[in-house]
Structure 1
């Protein structure tokens, strides 16, 4: 009898919560809905994700990706958006929160899985390295400069502007030039 009363009380409480319109969220859902609660004292960064270079290289794009579903008409996957900067945030931290918040597909390789010791962005919005030719893939710039190290090594500061660009020509089509170091066989940023 006592168990039945407790069960009945629990069911009544549950019905009252549902009727009152209370939204029950998982921790992940709560985090994603409050990710961009910017206050006056918040430090912030801005991020955008663009693939407009593909529009000039449409013939090189893998046929299965030739759709507005993957490449928007203007090439903008994510317009410039402001996010709260937390202490120690890297470019990867902001990108990861951004794509989760906006439900944009992303695939990456962990820092411990490659020789560079940094996270490697394999694909964003179903666009991968080599999806638009042999020199294509994702690059990032902070405040207009293309860093010479990985996304999980670049620690951000208040006011930084992050841009992710899909390149079809090893960065030349997005304003980046590589310079070969004569003493080593590796690519260095100019």
Structure 2
């Protein structure tokens, strides 16, 4: 009878949760890094608090200045979309986000349902999240928009179908 002995060398293995991974492995920005800037704001709600769901009338959901995430730079990875960078930003900053995947809707793009517990319709029937890149509303899904070096991405909460944030769903489509 032959016996085989297997020797297993155990080294220090660190197992991280997804949240821990994003907190410890955010890309360091170097001199030659391509970057994008991301911000998340809900300041339009400040003038519409009467429309906001009562359970959300708290500073942890709507900060006094309306800024959920101030302008922050992130490394742009090859092929990154607006959704990819937003997803990294909210995970890194531990900001709640809920979305519908691109396979789950007719538009074939991810759809942001809520950020920081603020959802579509949380502040009236014309409210929800919109995004702009370099000051313009692209008019198509966030997982379809490929970013370029130095792009500036802004997520803004609208209480009036975009009219209160400098864009309108209907004017962008026509």
User: Common fold, TM-score beyond 0.5?
Assistant: yes
Whether 2:116 is the aligned partner of 1:129: answer: no
- Structure 2 counterpart of 1:139, from 122, 125, 130: 130
Matched residues, number:
165
* TM-align CA RMSD: 2.1
Change (3 A) 1:171 1:96: same
Partners of 1:179 and 1:135 in 2: how far apart?
12
Give the alignment's TM-score, normalised by structure 1: 0.81
Whether 2:36 is the aligned partner of 1:45: answer: yes
Q: More deviation in 35-44 or 45-54?
A: 35-44
- The offset of 1:27, in angstroms, is 6.8
Moved over 6 A (4+): none
- The offset of 1:118, in angstroms, is 0.3
- Bigger fraction of residues in helix: 1
Any idea what SS the aligned residue of 2:49 has?
helix
- The offset of 1:31, in angstroms, is 4.3
- The offset of 1:178, in angstroms, is 3.8
Gaps of 5+ in 2: 1-9
**Equivalent in the alignment of 1:169:** 160
**Equivalent in the alignment of 2:85:** 94
Asked whether the 8 Å contact 1:140–1:165 carries over to 2, the reply is yes
**Equivalent in the alignment of 2:52:** 61
Partners of 1:96 and 1:84 in 2: how far apart?
13
Asked whether the 8 Å contact 2:22–2:88 carries over to 1, the reply is no
**Equivalent in the alignment of 1:71:** 62
Q: Whose Rg is larger?
A: 1
**Greater RCO (Cα-Cα under 8 Å, separation 6 or more):** 2
- The offset of 1:77, in angstroms, is 0.2
